[in-house]
Chains A and B, each alone.
Chain A
């Protein structure tokens, strides 16, 4: 191509907007986070303050648990839906994709409908056992909420990946006398591994920064978004900026494997 000037002009508008509303804001966050009286030492406080450290570890733990559970449940569901044909399959395929676009707060509300004080689980256990089971506002509720937005993503990723795998390999393994278990372990699982890893990483990263869901549900549990809200409400901009940078780095690092395997558009979650 001889003349590239017009093409450079094609870059300009989008990159200007991107620089103004993403790169500049992130830069301001970084500057702001080190601009308090403590300077960069505030990053040490995130680890040395026992409450913040516990919050950080709790958040990581919950996110890892959610990622593992979502990959297991979503993996089985996705593979099953992709590989089997039966009556009502189309209906069952449509169901898990329904909540994929729900914002985080709505996800939290869904869990309250399910396991809140007036929730379905509470009413059922009240009718059956005479005592209300309410878990929406504690750790199990938070887990359920994170699972709620994670499972659809895993199902979608696994179905897409399973649809593209080469069925003839499984066929060959079966013909050569491999048991269904061996076929799954040696052929199916490895071929799906990239999709599973990337889906798991996306679930983890989304869970770490799932503000809407955490703020709706975490009544007696401190996770990063809750501490974050404390900072912003008390106008502690330095601490909030520091936490933003930490959150951003954690999520970005967690998504590295996902981006290597699947390309980035798989990422992104309820804010």
Chain B
């Protein structure tokens, strides 16, 4: 039994990784149709960076901007969700937030195009793409942070902070933000 299972696990892993190595090899091969025998060269990578460098960097900006937006929007929301606890609104909001994950991205994309395509400055800017990404990334930020905040002993800490005169924002930045730090910092990996 052990060997059968090992065989399945190894073949699954090979199926998933061999194409990746093939791709990397091909990227450095001088002539892909003749194979590695034709020699190795970084020319193709340089060529791609030359031609599409701008696009690649724009993707990087986008990949950084989306989690940043999620952080700004998501942390307060997660805090509010936890505070509202078991109320119907909180449950509804939490349920609604994950809907974008179960609707195919291209459907939401077309919807955004239909709803906002007429606003031409927005349509032409990269913020247009960012908006779509943020909607998809928000649940990855809100849910882990909310579950961490639920488990943390925040109520007592906030009570203590309040009796000592800390205002609402002081409590948020002094207690809630640090408490959600780890969960929030892991979210960008999933966005």
Query: Within the complex, which residue of A1, A29, A208 is in contact with B111, where a contact is CB–CB below 8 Å?
Result: A29
Asked, given contacts A21-B112, A29-B107, whether A268 binds B77 with beta carbons under 8 Å apart, the answer is no
Is A265's CB under 8 angstroms from B12's CB? no
Chain A 206-244 residues near chain B, CB threshold 8 A: 208-209, 211, 225, 228, 232, 237, 240-241, 244
Asked if A190 is at the interface (CB within 8 A of a chain B CB), the reply is no
Q: Count A interface residues, CB 8 Å.
A: 75
Chain A 253-267 residues near chain B, CB threshold 8 A: 254-255, 259, 263-265, 267
Asked if A251 is at the interface (CB within 8 A of a chain B CB), the reply is yes
Which residues of chain A are within 8 angstroms of B69 by Cβ–Cβ distance?
Answer: 17
Which residues of chain A are within 8 angstroms of B138 by Cβ–Cβ distance?
Answer: 14, 17-18
A92 CA / B9 CA spacing, docked (Å):
8
- Name the residue among B103, B105, B139 with the largest chain A CB count within 10 angstroms: B103
Asked, given contacts A80-B5, A92-B10, A251-B103, whether A14 binds B76 with beta carbons under 8 Å apart, the answer is yes
Asked, given contacts A74-B12, A77-B9, A92-B13, whether A114 binds B22 with beta carbons under 8 Å apart, the answer is yes
A183 CA / B112 CA spacing, docked (Å):
51
9-residue interface stretch from B40-48, B49-57, B128-136: B128-136
Asked if B164 is at the interface (CB within 8 A of a chain A CB), the reply is no
Is A80's CB under 8 angstroms from B6's CB? yes
Is B74's CB under 8 angstroms from A241's CB? no
Which residues of chain B are within 8 angstroms of A109 by Cβ–Cβ distance?
Answer: 23
A225 CA / B107 CA spacing, docked (Å):
10
Which residues of chain A are within 8 angstroms of B2 by Cβ–Cβ distance?
Answer: 84
User: Per DSSP, are chain A's interface residues mostly helix, strand or loop, or mixed?
Assistant: helix
Which residues of chain A are within 8 angstroms of B12 by Cβ–Cβ distance?
Answer: 73-74, 77, 96, 151, 155
A254 CA / B102 CA spacing, docked (Å):
9
- Name the residue among A25, A29, A152 with the largest chain B CB count within 10 angstroms: A25
B13 (CB) vs chain A CBs: closest residue = A95
A259 CA / B95 CA spacing, docked (Å):
10
Is B101's CB under 8 angstroms from A268's CB? yes
B72 (CB) vs chain A CBs: closest residue = A13
Q: Looking at the assembled complex, report how far the CB atom of B189 sits from the nearest CB atom of chain A, in whole angstroms.
A: 8
Asked if B110 is at the interface (CB within 8 A of a chain A CB), the reply is yes
Is B83's CB under 8 angstroms from A264's CB? no
Query: Within the complex, which residue of B18, B20, B26, B136 is in contact with A268, where a contact is CB–CB below 8 Å?
Result: B136
Q: Looking at the assembled complex, report how far the CB atom of A134 sits from the nearest CB atom of chain B, in whole angstroms.
A: 15
- Which residues of B does A touch, CB under 8 Å? 1-2, 5-6, 8-10, 12-13, 15-20, 22-23, 26, 32-33, 69, 72-74, 76-77, 79-80, 83-84, 93, 96-108, 110-116, 131-132, 134-136, 138-140, 142-144, 168
